[in-house]
Chain A
Amino acid sequence: MGRYVLRRLLQLIPVFFGTTFLIYCLVWAVPGDPFASKCGERGCPDSYVQLMTEKYHLDQSVFVQYYHYMLNLLHGDFGETYGGVQISSLISEAYPNTVKLAIVALIIEGVIGLTAGVLSGLRRNGFLDNLVLVSTLFLIALPIFVTGFVLQWLLGVQWGIVSPTVSSDVPFNELILPGFVLGSLSMAYIARLARTSIAENRRGDYVRTAIAKGLPMRRVVGIHLLRNSLIPVVTYLGTDLGALMGGAIITEGIFGINGIGRQVYQAIVTKEGATVVGIVVILVMVYLLMNLVVDILYAVLDPRIRYG
């Protein structure tokens, strides 16, 4: 186990550097002048250009730049925007909102998806099963921004049940609709995953034994069946948390939430290279670490899996 974790951690290192370097090149090796639209109509004063060039090593090759950037990053310095705002403060301001949204989305998709999946898996080919199959297919087919717009328009504007946008201090009750929108796709996958897994395990010998022993159905399902069927769902939820933290660009945009996804999109639009790289580095780190945690969790949950 310990050796497996260590090996996975070592594997993480080249992937981390590779991904961040790729992003760094894409952002900084952009053809064109990085100062082109930074200082209004008159263009940037020479002293400013000089200062920035020196600070970010813009006159050297992209490898040197990347090296210096990573060196600073290891000291906890994410650099600053062209306006002089510390990127780390920008991130620490926006990230809690994203985490809140991701947690709300995860809870909603977990509860609804699991319930639907378990119920339909227990009664295959029933009315509920077909309903779940059709509705999940529909959710998979809907692009997330369509779901967002339609629900915002219907629930927020037409019926006035919820507020169509989220206020600046991001209370949890206003996050329910955005959380639902953000989690809708994964909800469908969780429902399907749970359904297949339950339906497969239901035919297992241990379930037949439990029923034959005369255990009440509630116990057979709750203790024996659920435990064994939830392994793929739990691992999926873990990977999804990593994805949710970075994939909220659209949802945050539609509902006006000041989160990390919106920050990174704005930074891309205004060509704030340092901000883009800083945020993406964090997102990639979260994503990779979540994947690692999931893999370890998998080994813990399912002792049948052995790692060399």
Chain B
Amino acid sequence: MGDPTVSSMVTAAPGGASTIAGIEEPVSSGAAAPERRDKPRGLWGDAWRDLRRKPLFWISATIILLLLAMAAFPGLFTSVDPTHGDLSRSREGPSADAWFGYDVQGQDVFARIIYGTRASIVVSILATVGTALIGGAIGVLGGFRGGWADALLSRIADIFFGLPFLLGAIVILFTFNTPGSNKSTLNIELLVVTALVVLSWPLSMRIMRSSVLSAKHADYVLAARALGAGSGRIIFRHLIPNCLAPLLVYSTILIGSFIGAEATLAYLGVGLRSPVISWGIMIADSQEYIRVSPQLLLFPASFVVIAVLSFVTLGEAVREALDPKLR
């Protein structure tokens, strides 16, 4: 969702961040050894100093850590079994026993939200890692090689970029994850991840490609080449560390949009589905009862919003810290 639009949020990053990276690089790699007091800080050191002073960064980072803890150890946050249903308490409102009330099956909504964190977070992080790896690798390749390889890779990216995101995801998932088929949980999760990666790698590729293109002719790359470094060494030791910042910022924001996308796909009935517990499934299940018990929709939806919000805020905070224009 909104993939072409997210690019507008990160456009400031590639040029700016990589130029400063270009300036700082020889310093930071040369003076990496501890030199005490006034050693020159690299790009990330500067950014970290900037970030430490921002309350928004701390708030979003805390929420994200909390969410990760919820995903890893749901038992710490609730002792209620999320799958235990009691029809006599179906759709009961919030109370002291169950903070968020009970759903149609009489299952504790709070416990389900806690246990649902794992699926949502795992899917979106895996998809983001996949997107960054594939898009980044192809971007480096295209930007570094140039010529016909770049043209070919860019056209292939254009083809995937031409697919409307939601439509493409529905078609892919409907083909391989037909509702009613009994696939294992892991299988479905991997399919959703694959669909997200297939449809969103072109943007990561473009971001990486443009920053590699602008860094390729920087002096430190020429210097490395003059010293006899091979292509592999230049790519891994010089280009990738210096061009990573814009991609990382975009990926942080992407985790947020993938959480929303996972919920949307589950809502449409082509994503994850029960017995998996995820926020999207809870929202999808609640839509028939929205007129009588809206809390079934509002609680999981607000968790989706909080999660998306914290990842987007974190990404923006890091981007601002990395952007020299705002210093």
Contact = CB atoms under 8 A, between A and B. Distances in A.
A157 B291 CA distance: 7
Nearest to A20: B162
Report which residue of B268, B298, B313 has the largest number of chain A beta carbons within 10 angstroms of its beta carbon.
B268
Given A185-B5, A250-B268, A284 B162 contact: yes
A22 B163 CA distance: 9
Given A153-B290, A287-B162, A268 B5 contact: no
A141 B308 contact: yes
A27 B5 contact: no
Given A15-B155, A23-B171, A243 B4 contact: yes
Contact of A247 (B162, B164, B290, B298): B164
A280 B166 CA distance: 12
Nearest to A268: B174
Interface in A125-146: 137-138, 140-146
Contact of A149 (B5, B8, B297, B305): B297
B99 to A, nearest CB: 20
B278 to A, nearest CB: 13
A193 B8 contact: yes
Interface in B136-195: 155-156, 158-160, 162-168, 170-172, 174-175, 178
A18 interface: yes
A70 to B, nearest CB: 16
A115 interface: no
B167 A140 contact: no
Interface in B276-327: 283, 287, 290-291, 294, 297-298, 301, 304-305, 308-309, 312-313
Given A249-B167, A249-B170, A137 B312 contact: yes
Nearest to A146: B301
Contacts of A249: 166-167, 170, 268
A202 to B, nearest CB: 14
A108 to B, nearest CB: 16
B163 A189 contact: no
Interface in A95-128: none
Nearest to A133: B316
A189 B155 contact: no
B116 interface: no
A14 interface: yes
B159 A283 contact: no
Task: Say which size band chain B's interface belongs to.
Answer: 35 or more
Given A18-B159, A146-B305, A268 B294 contact: no
A246 interface: yes
B1 interface: yes
Nearest to B174: A268
B204 interface: no
Given A141-B312, A143-B304, A284-B163, A26 B172 contact: yes
Contact of A153 (B5, B12, B291): B291
Interface string A6-28: 00000100111011001100110
B127 to A, nearest CB: 15
Contacts of A265: 170, 268
A150 B167 CA distance: 23
Contacts of A275: none
A264 interface: yes
Nearest to B170: A268
A2 to B, nearest CB: 22
Nearest to B310: A141
24 contacts: A11-B158, A14-B155, A15-B159, A16-B162, A18-B162, A27-B171, A137-B312, A142-B305, A143-B261, A143-B263, A143-B264, A149-B287, A150-B301, A153-B294, A157-B291, A186-B5, A189-B2, A189-B5, A193-B8, A236-B5, A240-B5, A246-B167, A247-B166, A284-B162
Interface of B: 1-2, 4-5, 8-9, 12, 155-156, 158-160, 162-168, 170-172, 174-175, 178, 256, 260-261, 263-264, 267-268, 283, 287, 290-291, 294, 297-298, 301, 304-305, 308-309, 312-313
Given A11-B155, A14-B159, A250-B267, 10 more contacts: A16-B162, A22-B163, A141-B308, A145-B263, A192-B9, A249-B268, A250-B166, A250-B264, A280-B171, A287-B164
